[in-house]
């Protein structure tokens, strides 16, 4: 555990040191849970968005994209349920005066029990070696069984309380589980209270005419309210989807774990409109399609898992999360929800406008059902950084830090390194960049020893380093070094575009999606 925490800290400082992520307003001591993306971070983020957008809109003929405004009519948030029900249960510790999310305190407690179980299993594996039967061990080991029982009891009470918003039970659970405040170490808790997560501001110039508006807490509602605009102008036939990427804002109380839970973040959401009764078939389709999109990134199948929701929101008839193994455990990166006709019906009710579709094949009108896929750009960014970061020994006995990002998403695709800063080598390097910069994000790197420059590019995650040496001037060849294998090959300059293009193109990544 401590090892994982160390790794987490290292990765956060790596992100800062190498221009990926900076704390917002740093010179003013920062702004909690708000971050800025640096010169490499913003490139990586753009590439993530391109990968998602192209997978959605180019690989699916029946999915189109929109870009709706952040400000929306305030009635939308009444209709969607966010004004009345987008709340977190909060609890304060009377001694430390610190405020916590009651559900997060209990979730952390549950995660600790799971950790204990995993530790027992790891011990068993070590003890029994090859003959270890994990399933049997989990079903028979007394300590595992005891912890599993405790977990199930707390989990059941917790899910029920969350489902019906029973705050007294949440508080009682915190007391029963003897959860202490991490700061004061005491169990001196207040009651649990509701806290709405939406940021509000005013629109309009005079105090009389000003209207209370919200910064959107999700992009999805911009899709719902444009459903008919897109369907009619695009002559879309059901089933079809509308995709959108954009900022969302939530006044998160427990803001921690770096960019995992932010107050300003970005979502990539898609609402897929289907015939009523066909939603569970499409739910399965999008569950698999989205997992395959993640797997194509090559971060390892074992790092992903589905977490099916047992207790569903009142408007959903199926829901799952795609979770990624972060250093702080498996965490949600994407949600896939079968939202029935809840949102369209509510907008119909609140706006007084029909939100129905005429199905020419059935010859009837109906309110479509919706499957939603919703992923946070920042959480995907985080999973990529965690999955890609490695510390490895080099052949000369040193350790290198390397970010093995999928080449198509890497911020810089190639660095051109003149071996020495004289004899016409920098000029030759410039010539290569001058040609390749139309296809790839290139960088010239001529300071420090060649070894140091390799290390620097590895730390950024640049897939290829091209070294220009004296032989280059004689026969127009260079060495091309592969970031992951560290192998070098001598090739003609004219081959570079093809070799690099094969590996770093978005096309090559999109083709990996099964």
Contact (CB, 8 A) for 102 and 170 = yes
The token pair that represents 156 in the structure block: 């059941």
CB of 251: closest distance to ligand GAP in angstroms?
A: 9
CB of 269: closest distance to ligand GAP in angstroms?
A: 6
Q: Which is nearer to ligand GAP, 23 or 501 (CB)?
A: 23
CB of 146: closest distance to ligand GAP in angstroms?
A: 33
Q: Which is nearer to ligand GAP, 101 or 157 (CB)?
A: 101
CB of 64: closest distance to ligand GAP in angstroms?
A: 18
B/e letters for 482-502, b = 16+ CB within 10 Å, e = fewer, are: ebeeeeeeebebeebeeebee
Indicate the Cα dihedral angle 100, 104, 105, 109, nearest 10°: -160
DSSP 3-state of 248: strand
Sheet holding 193-196, edge to edge: 99-101, 87-92, 193-196
CA 157 from centroid of its chain's CA atoms: 29
The contact set with ligand GAP (CB under 6 A) reads 218, 220, 250, 252, 261-262, 265, 267, 269, 332-335, 372, 374-376, 378-379
Instruction: Give CA–CA dist 48/55, Å, rounded.
Output: 11
Indicate the Cα dihedral angle 232, 238, 239, 245, nearest 10°: 20
CB of 193: closest distance to ligand GAP in angstroms?
A: 20
Q: Which is nearer to ligand GAP, 334 or 341 (CB)?
A: 334
Q: Which is nearer to ligand GAP, 158 or 265 (CB)?
A: 265
Which residues contribute to the annotated binding site?
101, 218, 250-252, 260-269, 332-333, 372-379
CB of 90: closest distance to ligand GAP in angstroms?
A: 16
Measured from each CB, the residue nearest to ligand GAP is 376
119-128's contacts with Cβ under 8 Å and 24+ in sequence apart are 120/144, 120/147
CB of 378: closest distance to ligand GAP in angstroms?
A: 5
Contact (CB, 8 A) for 247 and 266 = yes
**C-alpha closest to that of 305 among 390, 383, 241:** 383
Q: What is the 3-state secondary structure (H, E, C) of 200-241?
A: EEEECCCCCCCEEEEECCCCHHHHHCCHHHHHHHCCCCCCEE
Which residues contribute to the annotated binding site for substrate?
101, 218, 265-269, 372-376
Q: Which is nearer to ligand GAP, 12 or 402 (CB)?
A: 12
Q: Which is nearer to ligand GAP, 299 or 493 (CB)?
A: 299
Instruction: Give CA–CA dist 159/311, Å, rounded.
Output: 7
The token pair that represents 271 in the structure block: 């609402």
Q: Which is nearer to ligand GAP, 27 or 69 (CB)?
A: 69
Contact (CB, 8 A) for 95 and 184 = yes
CB of 410: closest distance to ligand GAP in angstroms?
A: 22
Q: Which is nearer to ligand GAP, 32 or 362 (CB)?
A: 32
């Amino acid at each position: 555990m401590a090892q994982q925490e160390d790794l987490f800290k290292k990765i956060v400082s790596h992100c800062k040191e190498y221009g990926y992520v900076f704390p917002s307003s740093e010179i003013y001591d920062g702004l909690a849970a708000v971050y800025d993306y640096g010169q490499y971070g913003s490139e990586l983020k753009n590439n993530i968005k391109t990968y998602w957008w192209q997978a959605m809109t180019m690989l699916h003929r029946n999915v189109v994209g929109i870009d709706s405004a952040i400000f929306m009519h305030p009635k939308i948030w009444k209709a969607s349920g966010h004004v009345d029900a987008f709340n977190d249960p909060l609890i304060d510790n009377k001694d430390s005066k610190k405020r916590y999310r009651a559900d997060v305190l209990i979730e952390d407690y549950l995660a600790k029990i799971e950790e204990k179980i995993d530790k027992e299993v790891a011990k068993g594996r070590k003890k029994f070696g090859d003959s270890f039967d994990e399933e049997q061990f989990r079903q028979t080991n007394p300590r595992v069984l005891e912890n599993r029982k405790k977990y199930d009891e707390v989990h059941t009470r917790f899910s029920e309380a969350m489902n019906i918003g029973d705050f007294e039970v949440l508080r009682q659970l915190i007391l029963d589980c003897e959860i202490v405040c991490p700061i004061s170490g005491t169990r001196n808790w207040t009651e649990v209270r509701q806290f709405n997560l939406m940021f509000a501001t005013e629109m309009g110039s005079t105090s009389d005419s000003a209207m209370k508006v919200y910064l959107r807490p999700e992009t999805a509602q911009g899709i719902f309210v444009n459903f008919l605009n897109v369907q009619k102008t695009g002559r879309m036939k059901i089933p079809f989807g509308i995709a959108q990427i954009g900022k969302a804002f939530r006044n998160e109380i427990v803001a921690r774990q770096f960019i995992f839970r932010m107050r300003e973040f970005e979502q990539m959401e898609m609402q897929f409109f289907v015939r009523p009764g066909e939603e569970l078939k499409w739910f399965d389709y999008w569950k698999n399609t989205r997992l395959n999109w993640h797997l194509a990134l090559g971060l390892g199948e074992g790092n992903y898992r589905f977490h099916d929701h047992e207790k569903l929101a009142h408007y959903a008839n199926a829901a799952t999360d795609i979770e990624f193994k972060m250093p702080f455990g498996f965490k949600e990166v994407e949600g896939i929800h079968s939202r029935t006709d809840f949102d369209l019906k509510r907008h119909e009710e609140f706006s007084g406008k029909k939100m129905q579709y005429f199905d020419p094949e059935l010859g009837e009108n109906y309110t479509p059902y919706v499957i939603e896929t919703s992923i946070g750009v920042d959480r995907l960014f985080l999973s990529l950084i965690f999955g890609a970061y490695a510390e490895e020994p080099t052949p000369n006995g040193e350790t290198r830090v390397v970010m093995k990002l999928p080449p198509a998403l890497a911020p810089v695709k190639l660095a051109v390194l003149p071996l020495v800063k004289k004899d016409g080598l920098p000029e030759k390097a410039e010539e290569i960049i001058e040609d390749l910069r139309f296809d790839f994000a290139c960088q010239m790197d001529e300071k420090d020893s060649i070894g140091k420059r390799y290390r620097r590019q590895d730390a950024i995650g640049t897939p290829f380093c091209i070294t220009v040496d004296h032989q280059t001037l004689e026969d127009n060849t260079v060495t091309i070094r592969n970031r992951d294998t560290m192998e070098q090959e001598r090739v003609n300059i004219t081959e570079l575009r093809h070799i690099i293009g094969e590996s770093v193109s978005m096309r090559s990544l999109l083709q990996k999606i099964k």
